[in-house]
Amino acid sequence: SREANQIETELKSTPNILGYTAGELQHFPNVLVAETPSGEFAGACISKDLLFNWTDIAMLYVLPKFRGYGIGGKLFREAFARAQARRRHIYVLSRNPSVIRLMEQSEMKIARAAWQAPLALHLYNQYHMSSLYRLSEAIRKSRMRRDDGQRFVAATKRYEP
């Protein structure tokens, strides 16, 4: 789709998201899309269900011209609410200060070390990073990152009945 191609292109410009191919983007079952009142594509949020009842809010992206209007927050809160409604544990990894604030506002447990991520995520990442596309993007994006003091922050919210 046009939106998947647009997101693939946009994700290549940010050092914060490894990215997905347009083909991958079109096959995720849990995708939220934001549009303007006139129907213009503004952003998307992807959640991935993992093993052991975990959901990873894996990608949140708002096109630059639509930032600052609360679209990212609405997408994040909706993805979070949907995962909670399905009684899922939730995982988020980001170095974007706005997303980190959303994680804190959602009362997620912040972890400062990657090894603290749930086992389901460690297992999924073995598969996820086996893509040559993703490996090349990881190398390319590691060169894009400035030493801006931002670090990746992981957060979890366990479902409690």
Please answer whether residues 47 and 30 qualify as being in contact, where contact means their C-beta atoms are separated by less than 8 angstroms. Answer: yes
Mean pLDDT of the chain: 89
pLDDT, one tens digit per residue, over 68-121 is 999 999 999 999 999 999 999 999 999 899 999 999 999 999 986 777 788 898
Amino acid at 109: K
Q: How far apart are CA 46 and CA 64, in angstroms?
A: 18
Query: Which of 26-35, 106-115, 129-138, 142-151 is least confident?
Result: 142-151
pLDDT of the residue at 135? 87
Per-residue DSSP letter, 125:
H
Residue 119, classified by CB atoms within 10 Å of its CB into exposed (0-12), middle (13-18) or buried (19+), is exposed
- Whole-number Å distance between alpha carbons of 2 and 148: 33
pLDDT given for residue 147 in this prediction? 67
Could you tell me which of 139, 156, 114 has the C-alpha nearest to residue 15? Answer: 139
Please give the Cα distance from 108 to 65 (Å, whole number): 29
Classified as helix, coil or strand, 130 is coil
Share of the chain above pLDDT 70, in %: 97
